[in-house]
Structure 1
Amino acid sequence: MTSGRAGLRLAACLLNISEGRRKDVVEKVARAAVCEDHGQEHLRATVLNIFSDYDYNRSVITIAAPVDWLDIAETLVCRVPGCSVFLFGQAHLPERQSLVQRRKQLGWFNRRAFNAATVIPDVGLSPTLRHGLTGVGASPYVMNCNVTVDTQDLATAKAIAAFIRGSSAGGLVGVQSMAFPHNGQIEIACNVESFDDHDTRWAAGDKSGYVSYSILGRTYHYVSPWLIEASIKKSARDHGVSTVGTALVGFTPEECARCAAYALTSGVREFWRVRGGVFM
């Protein structure tokens, strides 16, 4: 993403970590994104948002920095010995396989199929129990939008998730969706990828409900949160269930660019605190 106001070419990093219950640990990880080892702040990075999920013990930390400053995989391996990294998306050359494709290759979704001893990382050492396995990828902006359905029937929720999934016939372009039990109900969790005009599904489909933005003269599109919510509501209704809430985790691309430009030009390294703490 770019910001004419700041004259910057910016990149956003959505850092997912397996910790959502110990606030001090999550904040320490976020602080490390903008500080050197001796505690001084970086001049060229900001933490825009922290979202923590207690039930699933995970957090998503949104970091923004000029695009030429990011060198995540190599830096991580150098600073944390023992790390094991796999690449996906535009970082996975020449294949450019998606996160879902790489996870399936590694047996990520099936613990019985995952064998750390057989994993050959793209960067770093073979995975260990202490350091686990880290995915690092690059893509146009990815947004997260979650809709909760009022049912405990996982099969029904999976059918709803499949209905909107971009890989399904008539699905929403750029949407990857899964169903997870959450607080006695089920959450339809959606990764919403931006895509360009070359996407054949976009060229042939209904363009209403999609939002467009430009980066360096190139136009990208993404599904609006309201269309995701409306589509899930329709499918849920067809299955005899209702929706009970929608959450946008972080920002739309435009919001992210505006907040990042403000934070970086104003010297606000922990923007998430300015916005009022840990929030969705």
Structure 2
Amino acid sequence: MSCSSIGRRLVACLLNISEARRPDLVETVARSAITDTQGRTREGVTVLNIFNDFDYNRSVITIVASIDLIREAVLSVCEHACSVIDMNAHEGVHPCMGAVDLVPLYPLGKEVGLEDCGQEAKALAIALTERVVGTSAFLFGWGDSPQHRGLAQRRKELGWFRKVQDISTIQPDVGQQPTRRYGITGVGASPYVMNCNVTIDTQDLSLGRFVASAIRESNPNGIPGVQVVALPHEGAVEIACNVESVKDSVTSLSCGQEPWPGFTIKGQHFYHAPASLITARVAELAAYYGVAVKGTALVGFTPCECWSLAEDALSKGIGEYWKELHRVHM
């Protein structure tokens, strides 16, 4: 099926917040996207999915709306999250720097471009720091104009991967000096990024880091578009991958597996590594050390799945779409 919308000018936001151990609270935060300050339903917005991870103490809320409506929906979630999450009390094995840790905007279909999402991301970052006094933001991707520095680069520059950070030394792109209460939020835009997590049956974190290094895009034999970190998770090690979409077709690298899925943004073609390839590569590397793969989890959807589900949700006026998916998969 072709991945294109029918004139809705859709944008997806896979918003990451630093809370998962209070799932009822996370759902209440997510509902802020589809309810205005007077408690009325916000038309034209849907929450497709809520993914909670207890060990990481991190949730991903997938919000979709037209580019004209996405800002207010996302800002409402950010405001609510900042009011109930205190980074002074946060614990979790996943790296994070903010109560609202990440606000990425992804164009869906062919009507909205990366430049459009970049402008919207910057406006969103400014609005957040104005509405919630004490918050601050760094920009990445098309929100970081004209440099367009990627998320991994920006995180590395700011010390996101370090377990202990002196947040007072961070220079934000938007807002005042970061406070420990809210931390700092990454806001930006890029082609769609999936999260594909592969768990290997070991507690040896050094082995996990070896596997992660071997499949990382920066490795000459790595997988294009894959940014990855190894983390302890539920008594095993998770190879947690951000799967970025890349411009050029790299299906020749799939070594006989299925072609890489693709989609179009305003005439530009993008592709992403399939989860099956990532899992196979991890399994091959781990097996060399006698370790098996326990499972693979795709956090959210592929770009075309996200578009298709959003069209279904919005055409039916379903704001709490994650509940529909939950019923289907029960």
1:148 aligns with 2:199: yes
Report if the CA contact (8 A) 2:4-2:307 is conserved: no
1:97 paired to 2:154: no
- Residues 34, 269 of structure 1: 8 Å contact kept: yes
**Which residue number corresponds to residue 230 of structure 1?**
280
User: How far does residue 99 in structure 1 lie from its aligned partner after superposition?
Assistant: 1.4
Cα distance change, pair 102–60 in 1 and its aligned pair in 2 (3 A): same
Q: CA deviation at 1:195?
A: 1.5
Further displaced range: 9-18 or 205-214: 205-214
Query: Residue 9 of structure 2: SS of its match in structure 1?
Result: strand
CA distance in 2, matches of 1:109, 1:231: 24
1:81 maps to what in 2? 133
Contact 1:174 1:193 in 2 (8 A): yes
Aligned counterpart, 2:88: none
Q: Tell whether 2:118 aligns with 1:68.
A: no
Paired position in structure 2 for 1:10: 10
- How far off its partner does 1:222 sit? 0.3
Residues 95-244 of structure 1: matches in 2 within 5 Å? 95-112=147-164, 114-197=165-248, 202=250, 205=253, 209=258, 210-244=260-294
Could you tell me which amino acid in structure 2 is paired with residue 226 of structure 1?
S
Structure 2 counterpart of 1:122, which letter?
A: D
Listed as ranges, the gaps of 5+ residues in structure 2 are: 72-123
CA distance in 2, matches of 1:183, 1:203: 34
> Residues 79 and 264 (structure 1 numbering): CA distance in 2 closer, same or farther, change over 3 Å?
farther
* Matched residue, 1:37: 37
Does the CA contact (< 8 Å) of 2:64 and 2:70 recur in 1? no
* Counterpart for residue 273 of structure 1: 323
Tell me by how many angstroms 1:80 deviates. Answer: 2.1
Q: Secondary structure at the match of 1:258?
A: helix
Bigger shift: residues 120-129 or 66-75: 66-75
Q: How many residues align?
A: 275
> What is the CA RMSD across the aligned residues, in angstroms?
2.3
1:3–1:10 CA contact under 8 A, matched in 2: no
Between Structure 1 and Structure 2, the one with more strand by share is: 1
Q: Report the AA paired with residue 215 of structure 2.
A: I
Contact 1:14 1:63 in 2 (8 A): yes
The superposition leaves residues 166-218 of structure 1 with CA deviations (integer Å, 9 ceiling, x where unpaired) of 11111111011111111111011111111112x8xx49855854211223332
Letter in 1 for 2:174: V
- The sequence identity of aligned pairs, in percent, is 49
Residues 6 and 265 in structure 1, CA contact (< 8 A), matched pair in contact too: no
Cα distance in 2 for partners of 1:117, 1:225 equals: 38
Q: 1: CA distance between counterparts of 2:65 and 2:15?
A: 13
Asked whether the equivalents of residues 213 and 219 of structure 2 are also in contact (C-alpha less than 8 Å), the reply is: yes
Query: What residue number does 1:251 align with?
Result: 301
Q: 1:215, 1:12 → 2: CA distance?
A: 13
Is contact 2:50-2:59 (8 Å) kept?
A: yes
Q: C-alpha distance in 1, partners of 2:130/2:160?
A: 25
Q: Which moved more, 1:175-184 or 1:73-82?
A: 73-82
Scaled by the length of structure 1, the TM-score of the pair is: 0.91
Alignment partner, residue 87 of structure 2: none
Match of 1:262 in 2: 312
Q: Is the 8 A contact 1:3 1:261 kept in 2?
A: no
1:35 maps to amino acid: T
